Amino acid sequence: MKKVIFASLFAIGLAACGGAGGGGAKAALVQSCLDDGSTDESTCNCMADKAVSDLDPKLVDILVEATKAEDEDAFMMSKMSELSPEEMTSFMTVMMGAATECGMEM
């Protein structure tokens, strides 16, 4: 998930509910984050909680889809280019706030 969040957070250099349900989305995001191996479980859980609770379900679905992609970064970059400016702003605001709140090192 850290890759996903970085790809998303840093469209500058590069984080629900839909079909998976809130719990399924969170579990997928946490697992992806842990699989990345560079973030502890507490931070992964915090980031996933913030994503699921604060993002529009469409954006959470994109994050969950990315966890299943062969190349998460490429998937996120392609999806981000499809977002409206308002969706992109919302996504970046939530995920940057979550990164700060959750203590993710960047």
**Regarding predicted confidence, which is higher, 1 or 14?**
1
Residue with tokens 């604060």, as numbered in its chain? 54
**Regarding predicted confidence, which is higher, 16 or 55?**
55
**Regarding predicted confidence, which is higher, 12 or 103?**
103
pLDDT digits (tens, 9 = 90+) for 27-81: 999 998 888 888 899 999 999 999 999 999 999 999 999 999 999 888 988 998 8
Residue spans of the domains in the chain: they are 2-102
- Provide mean pLDDT across the span 81-90: 92
C-alpha pair distances (Å), 73 with each of 14, 42, 48, 70, 79: 8, 23, 17, 9, 10
Position 72 scores a pLDDT of 86
Position 39 scores a pLDDT of 85
